[in-house]
Amino acid sequence: MKREEEANKSPPLRMIQFGLGAAGCEILRLARSKGVELVGAIDSDPAKLGQDAGELAGVGPLGVKVERPGALCRQGVADVLLHATRYGPKESAADVVGFLRAGINVISISGVSFLPAWDEALARRVDQAAREGGATVVGTGLNPGLLLDVVPILMSSACESIKRISAARVADFSPWGPETIRNYGMGLSPAEFDQQVAAGKIGLHAEISQSLGMIAHALGGTVEGFKQERLSIVTSTRRTGASVTIEPGQVCGFRHIATARCSTGPEIRLQHCGVVHPDPASDGVEPGTHVTIEGVPAVQVSIKGELSEAGGVYAATAARAVNAIPYVVAAAPGLVTLADLPMMAWWGGGRRPSA
Protein backbone atom coordinates (compact mmCIF):
# COMPACT_ATOMS: atom_id res chain seq x y z
CA MET A 1 0.00 0.00 0.00
CA LYS A 2 2.87 2.40 0.83
CA ARG A 3 4.55 1.89 -2.58
CA GLU A 4 1.19 2.46 -4.30
CA GLU A 5 0.65 5.72 -2.39
CA GLU A 6 4.17 6.90 -3.26
CA ALA A 7 3.60 6.09 -6.94
CA ASN A 8 0.35 8.08 -6.93
CA LYS A 9 2.19 11.12 -5.54
CA SER A 10 4.92 11.03 -8.19
CA PRO A 11 4.65 13.25 -11.28
CA PRO A 12 3.01 11.83 -14.42
CA LEU A 13 5.05 10.27 -17.17
CA ARG A 14 5.88 12.76 -19.93
CA MET A 15 5.82 11.84 -23.61
CA ILE A 16 6.79 13.20 -27.01
CA GLN A 17 4.72 12.02 -29.96
CA PHE A 18 6.88 11.65 -33.09
CA GLY A 19 4.56 11.29 -36.09
CA LEU A 20 0.95 12.47 -36.19
CA GLY A 21 -0.57 10.30 -38.87
CA ALA A 22 -3.47 7.96 -38.15
CA ALA A 23 -1.45 5.62 -35.92
CA GLY A 24 0.41 8.44 -34.15
CA CYS A 25 -2.82 10.26 -33.32
CA GLU A 26 -4.34 7.04 -31.98
CA ILE A 27 -1.27 6.56 -29.76
CA LEU A 28 -1.52 10.14 -28.49
CA ARG A 29 -5.22 9.77 -27.65
CA LEU A 30 -4.69 6.48 -25.82
CA ALA A 31 -1.66 7.69 -23.86
CA ARG A 32 -3.52 10.82 -22.77
CA SER A 33 -6.44 8.70 -21.55
CA LYS A 34 -4.00 6.83 -19.29
CA GLY A 35 -2.66 9.98 -17.67
CA VAL A 36 0.53 10.40 -19.70
CA GLU A 37 1.39 14.08 -20.18
CA LEU A 38 2.12 15.25 -23.73
CA VAL A 39 5.07 17.66 -23.64
CA GLY A 40 6.09 17.63 -27.29
CA ALA A 41 4.95 16.67 -30.79
CA ILE A 42 6.96 16.16 -33.97
CA ASP A 43 6.02 15.71 -37.61
CA SER A 44 7.78 16.29 -40.92
CA ASP A 45 4.62 17.42 -42.72
CA PRO A 46 4.90 21.21 -43.24
CA ALA A 47 1.12 21.48 -43.09
CA LYS A 48 1.13 20.21 -39.48
CA LEU A 49 3.99 22.34 -38.14
CA GLY A 50 2.76 24.92 -35.64
CA GLN A 51 -0.62 23.28 -35.20
CA ASP A 52 -1.88 22.12 -31.81
CA ALA A 53 -1.17 18.38 -31.49
CA GLY A 54 -4.31 17.81 -29.45
CA GLU A 55 -6.49 19.31 -32.15
CA LEU A 56 -4.81 17.15 -34.81
CA ALA A 57 -5.50 14.08 -32.67
CA GLY A 58 -9.09 15.07 -32.03
CA VAL A 59 -8.81 15.53 -28.25
CA GLY A 60 -9.04 19.32 -28.23
CA PRO A 61 -6.29 21.91 -27.69
CA LEU A 62 -3.42 20.82 -25.42
CA GLY A 63 -1.14 23.81 -25.86
CA VAL A 64 1.54 21.63 -27.51
CA LYS A 65 2.53 22.76 -30.98
CA VAL A 66 3.92 20.42 -33.62
CA GLU A 67 7.66 21.05 -34.09
CA ARG A 68 10.67 19.69 -35.91
CA PRO A 69 12.88 17.22 -33.99
CA GLY A 70 15.72 19.60 -33.14
CA ALA A 71 13.61 21.72 -30.80
CA LEU A 72 12.89 18.79 -28.47
CA CYS A 73 16.05 16.68 -28.63
CA ARG A 74 17.60 17.55 -25.27
CA GLN A 75 17.91 16.06 -21.80
CA GLY A 76 15.04 16.26 -19.34
CA VAL A 77 12.33 17.07 -21.86
CA ALA A 78 10.41 13.79 -21.59
CA ASP A 79 10.48 10.28 -20.18
CA VAL A 80 9.54 8.54 -23.42
CA LEU A 81 9.18 9.23 -27.13
CA LEU A 82 6.48 7.35 -29.04
CA HIS A 83 7.69 6.98 -32.64
CA ALA A 84 5.09 6.34 -35.37
CA THR A 85 6.18 7.10 -38.92
CA ARG A 86 6.06 5.32 -42.27
CA TYR A 87 9.85 5.09 -42.43
CA GLY A 88 11.98 1.96 -42.67
CA PRO A 89 14.60 0.83 -40.15
CA LYS A 90 17.38 3.12 -41.38
CA GLU A 91 15.17 6.22 -41.29
CA SER A 92 13.67 5.27 -37.92
CA ALA A 93 17.11 4.83 -36.39
CA ALA A 94 18.15 8.26 -37.66
CA ASP A 95 15.01 9.76 -36.11
CA VAL A 96 15.63 8.42 -32.62
CA VAL A 97 19.39 8.22 -31.90
CA GLY A 98 19.60 11.87 -30.80
CA PHE A 99 16.76 11.39 -28.33
CA LEU A 100 18.38 8.24 -26.96
CA ARG A 101 21.66 10.08 -26.38
CA ALA A 102 19.63 12.73 -24.54
CA GLY A 103 18.32 10.05 -22.18
CA ILE A 104 14.80 9.80 -23.61
CA ASN A 105 13.38 6.28 -23.87
CA VAL A 106 11.92 5.33 -27.26
CA ILE A 107 9.05 3.06 -28.30
CA SER A 108 8.76 2.74 -32.07
CA ILE A 109 6.17 1.05 -34.28
CA SER A 110 8.30 1.79 -37.36
CA GLY A 111 10.84 -0.82 -38.35
CA VAL A 112 12.96 -1.63 -35.29
CA SER A 113 11.23 -4.68 -33.75
CA PHE A 114 14.40 -6.77 -34.23
CA LEU A 115 16.92 -4.46 -35.85
CA PRO A 116 19.87 -6.92 -35.93
CA ALA A 117 18.00 -8.98 -38.54
CA TRP A 118 17.95 -5.92 -40.82
CA ASP A 119 21.39 -4.41 -40.21
CA GLU A 120 23.68 -5.55 -37.39
CA ALA A 121 25.94 -2.50 -37.66
CA LEU A 122 22.93 -0.16 -37.44
CA ALA A 123 21.62 -2.11 -34.44
CA ARG A 124 24.97 -1.67 -32.68
CA ARG A 125 24.92 2.11 -33.30
CA VAL A 126 21.40 2.44 -31.91
CA ASP A 127 22.30 0.29 -28.89
CA GLN A 128 25.41 2.39 -28.24
CA ALA A 129 23.43 5.65 -28.43
CA ALA A 130 20.89 4.29 -25.95
CA ARG A 131 23.56 3.14 -23.52
CA GLU A 132 25.37 6.47 -23.75
CA GLY A 133 22.19 8.27 -22.72
CA GLY A 134 21.00 5.68 -20.22
CA ALA A 135 17.83 5.14 -22.27
CA THR A 136 15.96 2.12 -23.62
CA VAL A 137 14.58 1.62 -27.14
CA VAL A 138 12.18 -1.10 -28.29
CA GLY A 139 10.14 -1.76 -31.41
CA THR A 140 6.60 -3.04 -31.05
CA GLY A 141 3.22 -3.05 -32.75
CA LEU A 142 0.67 -5.59 -33.93
CA ASN A 143 2.69 -7.07 -36.78
CA PRO A 144 5.60 -7.09 -36.22
CA GLY A 145 5.45 -6.99 -32.46
CA LEU A 146 2.78 -9.54 -31.60
CA LEU A 147 1.01 -11.82 -34.08
CA LEU A 148 3.88 -13.32 -36.11
CA ASP A 149 6.55 -13.23 -33.41
CA VAL A 150 5.48 -12.74 -29.79
CA VAL A 151 2.56 -15.18 -30.00
CA PRO A 152 4.69 -18.00 -31.49
CA ILE A 153 7.42 -17.26 -28.93
CA LEU A 154 4.94 -17.48 -26.05
CA MET A 155 3.39 -20.74 -27.29
CA SER A 156 6.82 -22.33 -27.78
CA SER A 157 7.26 -22.24 -24.01
CA ALA A 158 4.67 -25.05 -23.74
CA CYS A 159 6.79 -27.47 -25.78
CA GLU A 160 9.36 -30.04 -24.70
CA SER A 161 10.78 -30.19 -28.24
CA ILE A 162 10.05 -28.36 -31.50
CA LYS A 163 10.55 -29.38 -35.11
CA ARG A 164 8.84 -26.43 -36.85
CA ILE A 165 7.07 -23.18 -35.99
CA SER A 166 4.63 -21.82 -38.59
CA ALA A 167 2.64 -18.62 -38.31
CA ALA A 168 0.38 -17.01 -40.90
CA ARG A 169 -1.60 -13.79 -40.83
CA VAL A 170 -4.33 -12.90 -43.33
CA ALA A 171 -5.78 -9.38 -43.24
CA ASP A 172 -8.60 -7.73 -45.15
CA PHE A 173 -7.13 -4.76 -47.05
CA SER A 174 -10.45 -3.50 -48.46
CA PRO A 175 -10.71 -0.50 -46.05
CA TRP A 176 -7.18 0.81 -46.72
CA GLY A 177 -6.43 4.00 -48.64
CA PRO A 178 -4.90 4.37 -52.09
CA GLU A 179 -1.28 4.69 -50.91
CA THR A 180 -1.37 1.37 -49.07
CA ILE A 181 -3.17 -0.35 -51.94
CA ARG A 182 -0.59 0.99 -54.41
CA ASN A 183 2.38 0.04 -52.23
CA TYR A 184 1.22 -3.58 -52.14
CA GLY A 185 0.59 -3.81 -55.87
CA MET A 186 -3.14 -4.42 -55.76
CA GLY A 187 -4.92 -3.66 -59.02
CA LEU A 188 -1.88 -4.53 -61.13
CA SER A 189 -1.71 -7.37 -63.60
CA PRO A 190 0.21 -10.43 -62.31
CA ALA A 191 3.06 -9.63 -64.74
CA GLU A 192 3.28 -6.01 -63.53
CA PHE A 193 3.30 -7.21 -59.92
CA ASP A 194 6.16 -9.62 -60.58
CA GLN A 195 8.13 -6.94 -62.45
CA GLN A 196 7.80 -4.44 -59.61
CA VAL A 197 8.76 -7.03 -57.01
CA ALA A 198 11.86 -7.93 -59.03
CA ALA A 199 12.74 -4.22 -59.38
CA GLY A 200 12.43 -3.65 -55.62
CA LYS A 201 9.47 -1.30 -56.02
CA ILE A 202 7.16 -3.61 -54.08
CA GLY A 203 8.68 -4.91 -50.86
CA LEU A 204 5.44 -6.12 -49.22
CA HIS A 205 5.99 -6.89 -45.52
CA ALA A 206 9.59 -5.74 -45.23
CA GLU A 207 9.75 -6.47 -41.49
CA ILE A 208 8.98 -10.19 -41.82
CA SER A 209 12.73 -10.86 -41.49
CA GLN A 210 12.69 -9.05 -38.14
CA SER A 211 9.84 -11.21 -36.83
CA LEU A 212 11.73 -14.32 -37.89
CA GLY A 213 14.93 -13.03 -36.30
CA MET A 214 13.13 -12.27 -33.03
CA ILE A 215 11.77 -15.82 -32.84
CA ALA A 216 15.23 -17.29 -33.45
CA HIS A 217 16.69 -14.95 -30.80
CA ALA A 218 14.05 -16.02 -28.27
CA LEU A 219 14.82 -19.70 -29.03
CA GLY A 220 18.45 -19.04 -28.12
CA GLY A 221 19.85 -19.05 -31.64
CA THR A 222 20.34 -17.15 -34.86
CA VAL A 223 18.79 -17.32 -38.32
CA GLU A 224 20.28 -19.72 -40.86
CA GLY A 225 19.29 -20.11 -44.51
CA PHE A 226 16.82 -17.25 -44.73
CA LYS A 227 14.63 -17.36 -47.86
CA GLN A 228 11.56 -15.42 -48.93
CA GLU A 229 8.89 -15.41 -51.63
CA ARG A 230 6.62 -12.56 -52.69
CA LEU A 231 3.57 -13.88 -54.53
CA SER A 232 0.41 -12.32 -55.93
CA ILE A 233 -3.17 -13.43 -55.35
CA VAL A 234 -5.30 -12.92 -58.48
CA THR A 235 -9.06 -12.48 -58.36
CA SER A 236 -11.57 -14.22 -60.59
CA THR A 237 -14.36 -11.80 -59.62
CA ARG A 238 -14.72 -8.04 -59.39
CA ARG A 239 -13.83 -6.67 -55.94
CA THR A 240 -14.38 -3.15 -54.67
CA GLY A 241 -12.55 -1.68 -51.71
CA ALA A 242 -12.65 1.78 -50.16
CA SER A 243 -10.14 3.14 -52.66
CA VAL A 244 -9.84 0.57 -55.43
CA THR A 245 -11.89 -1.53 -57.82
CA ILE A 246 -10.14 -4.70 -58.93
CA GLU A 247 -11.26 -6.48 -62.07
CA PRO A 248 -11.04 -10.24 -62.75
CA GLY A 249 -7.50 -11.23 -63.66
CA GLN A 250 -5.91 -8.43 -61.58
CA VAL A 251 -3.97 -8.72 -58.34
CA CYS A 252 -6.27 -8.53 -55.33
CA GLY A 253 -3.74 -9.48 -52.69
CA PHE A 254 -0.31 -10.84 -51.81
CA ARG A 255 1.50 -13.59 -49.96
CA HIS A 256 4.87 -12.83 -48.37
CA ILE A 257 6.51 -16.03 -47.13
CA ALA A 258 9.78 -16.23 -45.18
CA THR A 259 11.51 -19.41 -44.07
CA ALA A 260 14.69 -20.21 -42.14
CA ARG A 261 16.15 -22.53 -39.58
CA CYS A 262 17.07 -21.46 -36.07
CA SER A 263 20.64 -22.44 -35.22
CA THR A 264 19.28 -24.28 -32.16
CA GLY A 265 17.24 -26.60 -34.40
CA PRO A 266 13.62 -25.59 -35.15
CA GLU A 267 12.49 -24.57 -38.61
CA ILE A 268 10.53 -21.30 -38.84
CA ARG A 269 7.98 -20.39 -41.51
CA LEU A 270 6.10 -17.07 -41.51
CA GLN A 271 3.47 -15.90 -43.96
CA HIS A 272 1.79 -12.51 -44.19
CA CYS A 273 -1.15 -12.11 -46.57
CA GLY A 274 -3.24 -9.08 -47.42
CA VAL A 275 -6.33 -9.37 -49.63
CA VAL A 276 -9.13 -7.07 -50.71
CA HIS A 277 -12.24 -8.86 -49.41
CA PRO A 278 -10.62 -12.25 -48.76
CA ASP A 279 -12.55 -15.24 -50.10
CA PRO A 280 -11.22 -18.45 -48.51
CA ALA A 281 -12.73 -20.62 -51.25
CA SER A 282 -11.05 -18.83 -54.16
CA ASP A 283 -8.00 -17.23 -52.49
CA GLY A 284 -6.94 -20.21 -50.43
CA VAL A 285 -6.44 -18.10 -47.29
CA GLU A 286 -8.63 -17.53 -44.23
CA PRO A 287 -8.70 -14.19 -42.36
CA GLY A 288 -7.07 -14.24 -38.96
CA THR A 289 -3.79 -15.40 -37.47
CA HIS A 290 -2.90 -19.06 -37.24
CA VAL A 291 0.09 -20.45 -35.34
CA THR A 292 1.13 -24.09 -35.59
CA ILE A 293 4.00 -25.69 -33.69
CA GLU A 294 5.07 -29.18 -34.70
CA GLY A 295 6.55 -30.45 -31.50
CA VAL A 296 5.88 -32.26 -28.24
CA PRO A 297 3.15 -31.41 -27.57
CA ALA A 298 1.79 -30.13 -30.90
CA VAL A 299 0.22 -26.67 -30.65
CA GLN A 300 -2.37 -24.87 -32.79
CA VAL A 301 -3.62 -21.36 -32.06
CA SER A 302 -6.10 -19.28 -34.09
CA ILE A 303 -6.75 -15.58 -33.44
CA LYS A 304 -9.88 -14.02 -34.92
CA GLY A 305 -11.76 -10.77 -34.44
CA GLU A 306 -10.89 -7.20 -35.32
CA LEU A 307 -7.11 -7.67 -35.41
CA SER A 308 -7.47 -8.42 -39.14
CA GLU A 309 -9.51 -5.27 -39.85
CA ALA A 310 -8.33 -1.69 -40.37
CA GLY A 311 -9.95 -0.21 -37.27
CA GLY A 312 -8.72 -3.00 -35.05
CA VAL A 313 -5.22 -2.78 -36.50
CA TYR A 314 -4.87 0.91 -35.54
CA ALA A 315 -6.29 0.34 -32.05
CA ALA A 316 -4.12 -2.71 -31.37
CA THR A 317 -0.96 -1.06 -32.75
CA ALA A 318 -1.50 1.96 -30.49
CA ALA A 319 -2.23 -0.30 -27.52
CA ARG A 320 0.97 -2.29 -28.03
CA ALA A 321 2.97 0.96 -28.01
CA VAL A 322 1.25 2.61 -25.03
CA ASN A 323 1.07 -0.55 -22.92
CA ALA A 324 4.85 -0.87 -23.38
CA ILE A 325 5.54 2.44 -21.62
CA PRO A 326 5.94 1.18 -18.03
CA TYR A 327 8.08 -1.76 -19.17
CA VAL A 328 10.42 0.40 -21.24
CA VAL A 329 10.78 3.10 -18.58
CA ALA A 330 11.78 0.42 -16.06
CA ALA A 331 14.13 -1.52 -18.40
CA ALA A 332 17.92 -1.45 -18.46
CA PRO A 333 19.50 0.88 -21.07
CA GLY A 334 20.10 -0.25 -24.61
CA LEU A 335 18.34 -1.62 -27.68
CA VAL A 336 16.03 -4.37 -26.44
CA THR A 337 13.44 -6.59 -28.06
CA LEU A 338 10.04 -7.79 -26.91
CA ALA A 339 11.69 -11.18 -26.33
CA ASP A 340 13.97 -9.51 -23.75
CA LEU A 341 11.28 -7.63 -21.80
CA PRO A 342 8.83 -9.20 -19.33
CA MET A 343 5.61 -10.34 -21.00
CA MET A 344 3.57 -7.19 -21.57
CA ALA A 345 -0.02 -6.83 -20.41
CA TRP A 346 -2.70 -4.17 -20.54
CA TRP A 347 -1.67 -1.09 -18.58
CA GLY A 348 -4.29 0.91 -16.72
CA GLY A 349 -2.17 4.04 -16.79
CA GLY A 350 -1.45 6.34 -13.91
CA ARG A 351 1.87 7.35 -12.48
CA ARG A 352 5.38 6.23 -13.27
CA PRO A 353 6.45 2.72 -12.22
CA SER A 354 7.80 2.21 -8.72
CA ALA A 355 11.52 1.56 -8.37
pLDDT in tens, 162-200: 999 999 999 988 888 787 888 899 999 999 999 999 999
Contact 288, 312 (CB under 8 A): no
Contact 213, 121 (CB under 8 A): no
Number of H helices, E strands in the chain: 12, 15
Predicted confidence band of residue 59 (pLDDT cuts 50, 70, 90): very high
- How many residues are listed for the chain in this entry? 355
Angstrom CA distances, 88 to 2, 50, 85, 111, 211, stand at 44, 26, 9, 5, 15
Judge whether residue 9 has pLDDT over 70: no
Contact 89, 96 (CB under 8 A): no
Contact 228, 202 (CB under 8 A): no
For residue 22, the model assigns a pLDDT of: 86
Rounded Cα–Cα distance for residues 175 and 337 (Å): 31
For residue 355, the model assigns a pLDDT of: 42
Predicted confidence band of residue 2 (pLDDT cuts 50, 70, 90): very low
Higher-pLDDT residue of 183 and 28 is: 28
For residue 243, the model assigns a pLDDT of: 85
Higher-pLDDT residue of 86 and 234 is: 234
What's the mean pLDDT when you consider all of the chain?
Answer: 92
| Sequence-distant (≥ 6) Cβ neighbours of residue 69 within 8 angstroms | 18, 42, 95, 98, 99
Maximal C-alpha separation, the chain = 67
Contact 307, 319 (CB under 8 A): no
For residue 8, the model assigns a pLDDT of: 55
For residue 312, the model assigns a pLDDT of: 86
Judge whether residue 270 has pLDDT over 60: yes
Going along the chain from its start, the domains and CATH numbers come out as 2-140+324-335 (3.40.50.720), 150-308 (3.30.360)
> Rounded to the nearest 5 degrees, what angle is found at the Cα of 42, between the Cα atoms of 41 and 44?
155
Predicted confidence band of residue 352 (pLDDT cuts 50, 70, 90): low
Q: pLDDT digit string (tens) for 292-338?
A: 999 999 999 999 988 887 778 889 999 999 999 999 999 999 999 99
Judge whether residue 10 has pLDDT over 80: no
For residue 249, the model assigns a pLDDT of: 97
For residue 351, the model assigns a pLDDT of: 59
What average pLDDT score do residues 125-149 get? 96
Predicted confidence band of residue 1 (pLDDT cuts 50, 70, 90): very low
Q: pLDDT digit string (tens) for 206-260?
A: 889 999 999 999 999 999 999 999 999 999 999 998 889 999 999 999 999 999 9
Indicate the pTM of the whole model: 0.91
The candidate with the shortest Cα–Cα distance to 82, out of 5, 125, 33, 19, is: 19
Share of the chain above pLDDT 90, in %: 78
For residue 77, the model assigns a pLDDT of: 93
Share of the chain above pLDDT 70, in %: 96
